[in-house]
């Protein structure tokens, strides 16, 4: 957390579970495990490896719709295990690591979500967290008897109301509501069980919840999003933000903005952990890591591949540069889309052609940033000894997101630089493919972070709140009782 709270800041690491890793072709590597995404024992093994690495939490993302097109961009999203079910299983086979479950308020009821999260928090003895998302795939509407997904305003309005009701449901039992006095026959103190009686724009909820108050009081709240509304929701409600930043500047701006908003909401801004996603491609040496990055990319299927009926890679029409925003749908993985994005026609080029200084100079800022990305990941540069090719640029375009390639020292340097610049409080670590990349991170990078005094060597707390340095919230009913007594 930041220095404002008086305590020294500490680095936090989440592990984000993707059944096939984050690299679009990672699952195709011969050494990758790509068929155990529904195997509870395997998911448990991963959580146990992350726990060995003293990660703060193991994180299940989620979406509520799918389609075959995900096979080219992200097979982990294509089909996935339901998070609460998997979380309930790993909860009993791990001891310390937090467990984050993603649930979208657009398609849940608050009562139902409060029960699930409270029950999970009981099952794992205070290690549960709920990641609030408003939904990345609008096709979910079609799976929930809705005619539309709703625009961002409608979804965030519902999410705001939703989370405040869920908190009141978690609080509907005071911590000492149970008496369980067999001699007198008194089981509970009815005065310590409170209805919610919420009537709002989206929900009418009477309460109380039928689950005892969660061990953490309120399970840790995460939030992932980018817009103004998302920032407000995160700054008001979240203990952890899953940020989308991929540069230190962006991370710093985002963090400063969130902390400013949190202060305006009357919160201690230092109590919010801002954790962007990060895929480290790591090996014992930098050279081996770069070879691994090239091997992964060589397995990417471009959209001109006849097996997928892709478009002609030579097709490029000057027009609005929207390709980068097409969420990697069909037609994204080819030179036409790259050309649109960098505003230079590269469609006639051979993939092995080096990029000359003239072409480099003609690229727009996005294209120049892609050159920097290639240089950082591979060491190749325009006019350098190991020349940067069209293929390199294309792969940097396709393998977006937050990727860093290097040896354990490089990865630790990268994490440290962000942390010390105030651009993040750590990261949500993702693996390009499984299992080897998670193991290598835990065996080589975590000890380096520990050696530098940046990361815990042992868990000091039992609950996720304790890992994150967060207090257990006082039940608002108990608070009301105390202030009444004081009068």
Ligand X SMILES: Cc1cc2nc3c(=O)[nH]c(=O)nc-3n(C[C@H](O)[C@H](O)[C@H](O)COP(=O)(O)O)c2cc1C
Residue 60 is classified by DSSP as E
Phi and psi dihedrals of 441, rounded to 5?
-60, -45
Helix/strand/coil (H/E/C) assignment for every residue in 404-456: EEECHHHHHHHHHHHHHCCCCCEEEECCCCCCHHHHHHHHHHHHHHHHCCCCC
Residue 226 engages ligand X in binding (rule: CB under 6 A): yes
In the complex, what is the shortest distance from the CB of residue 59 to ligand X, in angstroms, rounded to a whole number? Answer: 9
Q: Which of 405, 331, 410, 332 is nearest to 373 (CA)?
A: 405
For ligand X, which is the closer residue by CB, 86 or 196?
86
Give, in order, the Cα–Cα distances in Å from 392 to each of 279, 287, 288.
18, 16, 17
Residue 362 engages ligand X in binding (rule: CB under 6 A): no
Site for ligand X in 99-118 (CB under 6 A): 102, 104
Q: State how far the Cα of 116 lies from the Cα of 381, in Å rounded to an integer.
A: 51
Residue 227 engages ligand X in binding (rule: CB under 6 A): yes
Q: Are 433 and 29 in contact (CB under 8 A)?
A: yes
Of the residues 225, 280, 313, 408, which one makes contact with ligand X according to CB under 6 A: 225
In the complex, what is the shortest distance from the CB of residue 226 to ligand X, in angstroms, rounded to a whole number? Answer: 3
Strands, E assignment, 18-121: 57-60, 98-103
Residue 213 is classified by DSSP as P
Q: State how far the Cα of 383 lies from the Cα of 341, in Å rounded to an integer.
A: 22
Site for ligand X in 31-70 (CB under 6 A): 61-63
* 178, containing H or E segment: strand 178-181
Number of helices followed by number of strands (H, E) in the chain: 18, 13
Quick note: the x/- pattern for ligand X over 283-322, rule CB under 6 A, is: ----------------------------------------
For ligand X, which is the closer residue by CB, 63 or 213?
63
* Stretch near ligand X under the rule CB under 6 A, chosen from 68-76, 222-230, 284-292, 439-447: 222-230
Residue 230 engages ligand X in binding (rule: CB under 6 A): yes
For ligand X, which is the closer residue by CB, 137 or 268?
137
Of the residues 58, 242, 316, 455, which one makes contact with ligand X according to CB under 6 A: 242
In the complex, what is the shortest distance from the CB of residue 65 to ligand X, in angstroms, rounded to a whole number? Answer: 9
Quick note: the x/- pattern for ligand X over 189-218, rule CB under 6 A, is: ------------------------------
Neighbours of 20 (CB within 10 A): 26
The three-point CA angle 28-30-33 to 5° equals 75
In the complex, what is the shortest distance from the CB of residue 327 to ligand X, in angstroms, rounded to a whole number? Answer: 11
Residue 244 engages ligand X in binding (rule: CB under 6 A): yes
In the complex, what is the shortest distance from the CB of residue 190 to ligand X, in angstroms, rounded to a whole number? Answer: 39
Site for ligand X in 249-288 (CB under 6 A): 277
Residue 152 engages ligand X in binding (rule: CB under 6 A): yes
Q: In sequence order, which residues have a C-beta less than 8 Å from that of residue 381 and are 6 or more positions away?
A: 371, 374, 375, 387, 388
Of the residues 103, 169, 224, 258, which one makes contact with ligand X according to CB under 6 A: 224
Q: Which of 150, 104, 132 is nearest to 232 (CA)?
A: 132
Q: How many residues bind ligand X (CB under 6 A)?
A: 19
Strands, E assignment, 192-320: 198-199, 204-205, 220-224, 240-243, 273-282
* Stretch near ligand X under the rule CB under 6 A, chosen from 226-234, 335-343, 417-425, 435-443: 226-234
For ligand X, which is the closer residue by CB, 134 or 378?
134
* Stretch near ligand X under the rule CB under 6 A, chosen from 85-93, 130-138, 185-193, 334-342: 130-138
In the complex, what is the shortest distance from the CB of residue 74 to ligand X, in angstroms, rounded to a whole number? Answer: 11
* Stretch near ligand X under the rule CB under 6 A, chosen from 85-93, 190-198, 225-233, 464-472: 225-233
List of residues contacting ligand X (CB under 6 A)? 61-63, 102, 104, 133-136, 152, 224-227, 229-230, 242, 244, 277
């Amino acid at each position: 957390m930041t220095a404002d709270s008086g305590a020294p800041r500490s680095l936090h690491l989440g592990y984000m579970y993707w059944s096939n890793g984050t690299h679009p072709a990672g699952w195709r590597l011969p050494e990758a495990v790509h068929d155990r995404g529904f195997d509870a024992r395997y998911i448990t093994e991963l959580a146990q490896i992350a726990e060995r690495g003293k990660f703060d939490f193991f994180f299940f993302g989620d979406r509520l719709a799918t389609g075959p097109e995900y096979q080219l961009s992200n097979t982990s999203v294509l089909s996935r295990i339901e998070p609460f079910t998997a979380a309930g299983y790993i909860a009993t086979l791990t001891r310390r690591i937090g467990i984050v479950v993603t649930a979208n308020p657009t398609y849940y009821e608050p009562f139902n979500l409060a029960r699930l999260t409270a029950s999970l928090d009981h099952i794992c003895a205070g290690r549960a967290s709920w990641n609030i998302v408003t939904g990345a795939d609008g096709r979910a509407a079609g799976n929930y008897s809705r005619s539309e997904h709703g625009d961002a305003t409608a979804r965030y309005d519902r999410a705001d109301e939703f989370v405040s009701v869920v908190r009141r449901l978690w609080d509907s039992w005071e911590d000492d509501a149970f008496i369980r006095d067999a001699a007198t026959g008194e089981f509970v103190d009815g005065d310590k069980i409170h209805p919610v009686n919420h009537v709002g724009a989206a929900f009418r909820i009477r309460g109380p919840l039928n689950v005892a108050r969660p061990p953490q009081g309120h399970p840790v709240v995460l939030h992932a999003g980018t817009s103004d509304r998302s920032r407000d929701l995160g700054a008001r409600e979240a203990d952890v933000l899953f940020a989308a930043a991929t540069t230190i500047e962006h991370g710093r701006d985002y963090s400063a903005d969130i902390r400013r908003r949190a202060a305006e909401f009357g919160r201690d801004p230092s109590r919010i952990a801002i954790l962007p996603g990060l895929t480290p491609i790591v090996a014992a040496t930098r050279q081996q890591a770069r070879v691994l990055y090239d091997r992964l990319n060589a397995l990417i299927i471009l959209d001109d591949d006849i097996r997928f009926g892709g478009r002609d890679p030579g097709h490029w029409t000057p027009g609005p540069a929207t390709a980068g925003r097409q969420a990697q749908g069909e037609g994204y993985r080819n030179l036409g889309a790259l050309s649109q994005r960098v505003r230079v026609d590269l469609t006639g080029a051979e993939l092995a052609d080096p990029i000359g200084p003239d072409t480099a100079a003609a690229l727009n800022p996005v294209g120049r940033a892609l050159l920097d990305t290639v240089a950082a990941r591979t060491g190749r540069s325009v006019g350098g000894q190991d020349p940067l090719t069209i293929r390199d640029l294309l792969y940097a375009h396709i393998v977006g997101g937050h990727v860093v390639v290097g040896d354990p020292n490089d990865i630790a340097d990268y994490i440290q630089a962000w942390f010390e610049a105030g651009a993040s409080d750590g990261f949500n670590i993702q693996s390009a493919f499984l299992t080897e990349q998670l193991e290598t991170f835990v065996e080589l990078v975590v000890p380096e972070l520990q050696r530098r005094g940046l990361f815990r060597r042992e868990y000091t707390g039992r609950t996720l709140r304790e890992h994150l340095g967060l207090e257990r919230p006082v039940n608002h009913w108990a608070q009301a009782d105390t202030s009444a007594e004081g009068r």
